[in-house]
């Protein structure tokens, strides 16, 4: 009899645990009512294990019932790119205790080139932040502790609706009061309550806000002020500064200029922009024409599309049969250069569509590392900001960069007569280590000829 007791106890415990697991929902309802929770005792745990019952460390006894808790997951810094191993955690999009869905953004990491979003691997509730904002984080580092499972917090709109629903009920109460003569004294009581509300009204909360705003306004620089402010450069700005200085120190940069008559291209655009917009949804601009002109000019002067590679400044010239044009785009955080791939295979509409898509992604801060990787030639359009003339800096390891500028009407001698024409200055900065002056000037003249007579681009001459 004594030997059967442990077996009977284990069997009863096993049977009881199975029945209680089936009624887990009842246990959860007990939790909602505030029932006490206590850990499973060691004797019960050993008895369950001896009866081949799976006991998880997340099992708890609730008035004799067992409840399984949710597991924790650690959110790590995702892979960003081969050349990027760390970044700065700029901000958390959620707070501790917030429920997040799977793939919902919970943090943003700023890198040298782009901002990387950190998304939740699974649905759950944020339990703890393992790092702080502005901390430097590395790929694979744990930054957030997430409790998996659970449900979103109840919406706060429902109580608001109830309050809004209670408001119309208040005027209904006076109706009942009007029916009874005695409640008139009760109506006086609320009036007495309203009187103290009058002194509470003078509490100047809005003026307090104004007082808070006044110091902010006083912080604005006053005439004659000599205050100084120091702001730390973000990673993108630091990287841009490093790359530009590297270009100046490495390349033998030289800039050649020319002037182009935009009359024919502007007339060409005026004739066909509406048809192109209706059929393709693309707004025809000037960037596609300059890109196409550069591609055709590179066929005669392939060194413009080449680059120098190798140790100690480079000892090898790399020629390419493809053209990947980097388009300089100004954003709030700095200059980025997304790339139009295989521009040599595109027509004007295709190039314009690709540039428009990349520009939109840049403004929306949705560019990826792949969008900016590579590039064999750069076009920078400072004319959109009103620049009349400038000398762009080469984007290494490229060999040249074309700078476009503002279109201005100027008097020009045409066939012995003075005419007013829309003119633009072109600037080509090139690496003199690879390109000589003859090749650089010839390339820029070819671009000028294609722009002044766009029909030549159709013939390829």
Sole residue written with tokens 């959860």: 28
410: three-class secondary structure by DSSP: strand
Give me the sign of the Cα torsion angle 277, 282, 287, 292.
Answer: negative
3-class DSSP string for 347-397: CHHHHHHHHHHHHHHHHCCCCCHHHHCCCCEEEEEHHHHCCCCCCCCCCCC
169: three-class secondary structure by DSSP: helix
The residues, any chain, with a CB within 8 Å of residue 332's CB and separated by 6 or more, are none
Which residue among the candidates 347, 371, 432, 453 is catalytic per the annotation?
Answer: 432
The residue among 439, 402, 461, 404 whose CA lies nearest residue 262 is 404
Which residue among the candidates 135, 321, 436, 453 is catalytic per the annotation?
Answer: 436
Rounded Cα distance, 326 and 380, in Å: 9
112 among known catalytic residues: no
261 among known catalytic residues: no
Distances, alpha carbon 230 to alpha carbons 44, 224, 227, 368, 396, in Å: 64, 19, 10, 30, 30
247, 313 in Cβ contact below 8 A? no
The residues, any chain, with a CB within 8 Å of residue 248's CB and separated by 6 or more, are 393
372, 113 in Cβ contact below 8 A? yes
Rounded Cα distance, 88 and 116, in Å: 10
What is the CB neighbour count within 10 angstroms for residue 30?
A: 16
Active site residues: 432, 436
């Amino acid at each position: 009899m004594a030997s059967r007791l442990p077996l009977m106890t284990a069997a009863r415990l096993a049977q009881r645990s199975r029945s209680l697991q089936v009624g887990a929902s009842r246990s959860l309802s007990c939790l909602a009512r505030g029932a006490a929770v206590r850990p499973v005792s060691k004797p019960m745990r050993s008895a369950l294990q001896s009866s081949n019952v799976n006991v998880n460390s997340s099992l708890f006894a609730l008035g004799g019932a067992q409840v399984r808790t949710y597991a924790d997951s650690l959110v790590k810094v995702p892979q960003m790119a081969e050349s990027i191993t760390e970044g700065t955690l700029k901000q958390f999009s959620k707070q501790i205790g917030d429920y997040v869905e799977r793939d919902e953004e919970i943090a943003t990491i700023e890198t040298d080139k782009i901002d990387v979003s950190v998304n939740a691997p699974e649905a759950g509730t944020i339990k703890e932040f393992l790092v702080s904002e502005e901390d430097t984080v590395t790929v694979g580092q744990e930054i957030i502790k997430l409790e998996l499972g659970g449900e979103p917090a109840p919406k706060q709109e429902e109580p608001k609706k109830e309050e809004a629903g209670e408001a119309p009920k208040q005027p209904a109460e006076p109706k009942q009061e009007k029916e009874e003569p005695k409640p008139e004294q009760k109506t006086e009581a609320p009036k007495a309550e309203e009187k103290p509300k009058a002194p509470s009204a003078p509490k100047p909360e809005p003026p307090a806000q104004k007082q808070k705003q006044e110091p902010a306004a006083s912080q604005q620089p006053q005439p004659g002020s000599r205050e100084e402010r120091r702001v730390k450069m973000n990673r993108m700005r630091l990287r841009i500064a490093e790359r530009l200085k590297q270009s100046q120190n490495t390349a033998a940069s030289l800039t050649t200029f020319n002037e182009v008559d935009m009359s024919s291209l502007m007339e060409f655009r005026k004739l066909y922009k509406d048809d192109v917009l209706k059929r393709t949804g693309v707004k025809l601009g000037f960037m596609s024409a300059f890109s196409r002109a550069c591609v055709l000019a590179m066929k005669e002067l392939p060194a413009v599309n080449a680059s120098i590679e190798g140790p100690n400044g480079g000892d090898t010239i790399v020629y390419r049969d493809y053209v990947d044009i980097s388009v300089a785009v100004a954003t709030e955080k700095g200059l980025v250069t997304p790339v139009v791939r295989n521009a040599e295979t595109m027509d004007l509409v295709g190039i314009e569509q690709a540039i428009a898509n990349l520009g939109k992604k840049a403004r929306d801060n949705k560019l990826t590392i792949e969008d900016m990787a590579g590039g064999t030639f750069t076009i920078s359009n400072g004319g959109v900001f009103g620049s009349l003339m400038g000398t762009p800096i080469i984007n290494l390891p490229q060999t040249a960069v074309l700078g476009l500028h503002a279109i201005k009407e100027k008097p020009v001698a045409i066939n012995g007569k003075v005419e007013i024409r829309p003119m633009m200055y072109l600037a080509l900065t090139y690496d003199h280590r690879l390109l000589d002056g003859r090749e650089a000037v010839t390339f820029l003249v070819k671009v000028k000829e294609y722009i002044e007579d766009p029909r030549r681009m159709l013939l390829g001459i």
